[in-house]
Amino acid sequence: METPRNPLRDALSSLAQEATRNELPCLVIGGNAAIHHGVPRFTRDIDLLIPESALDRWKSHLVHKGYIPIHSTEAFLQFAPPNIALPPLDFMIVNEGTWKKLNADAVEIPLAGTSLKTPSALHLICLKLHATRSPSRRDTATDWQDIEIIAQQHNIDPTDPDISALLNAYGGPDASQILSKRLADQ
């Protein structure tokens, strides 16, 4: 039986090949990372985390490919695809220290003929917790649902003192308590 085509996965695989070939560092975040970490999820775009030192090279590469920058802030950049067959691309830009920490513990996502990395389960939870604190974030319910599932899938104990400190650092002073309660309520 033939595996059905997945245009988003095909685009992610193609992007991985281009990133490798052009030495463009990135980590997959967002919905695709959540899926890799065990969350049953649908997503329509590709979210990448990149170090600020690679921002200009990524911009140049994507503009050359026909992508159009449509929105940017100091920490985020969004591109519209050159045609409807390709997904939008969203970038989270981090400083070199954050990049090194996240990249050091990143895990591989195997793709056709190549691979990309995604943050570890705990680091992805921290990124999602940080996102829930953004005043412009519209859907924190999905973030919290992802956080719960990833914590369950990877046996992350929010009461562990080291994990609790990390969760609270990125999600606010009671993030570990909130996650503990949400996991206990299931």
pLDDT at position 1: 53
pTM above threshold 0.75: yes
pLDDT at position 6: 75
Do 130 and 98 share a structural domain?
no
Do 105 and 141 share a structural domain?
no
pLDDT at position 10: 87
Do 159 and 106 share a structural domain?
no
- Alpha carbon distances (Å) from 181 to 148, 152, 158, 177: 10, 13, 10, 6
What pLDDT, in 10s, does the model give residues 13-45? Answer: 999 999 999 999 999 999 999 999 999 988 899
Q: Give every residue of the chain whose pLDDT is below 70, as ranges.
A: 1-5
Task: Measure the CA–CA gap between 16 and 74, rounded to whole angstroms.
Answer: 24
Do 64 and 99 share a structural domain?
yes
The total number of structural domains in the chain stands at: 2
Domain that holds residue 143: 121-186
Do 6 and 62 share a structural domain?
yes
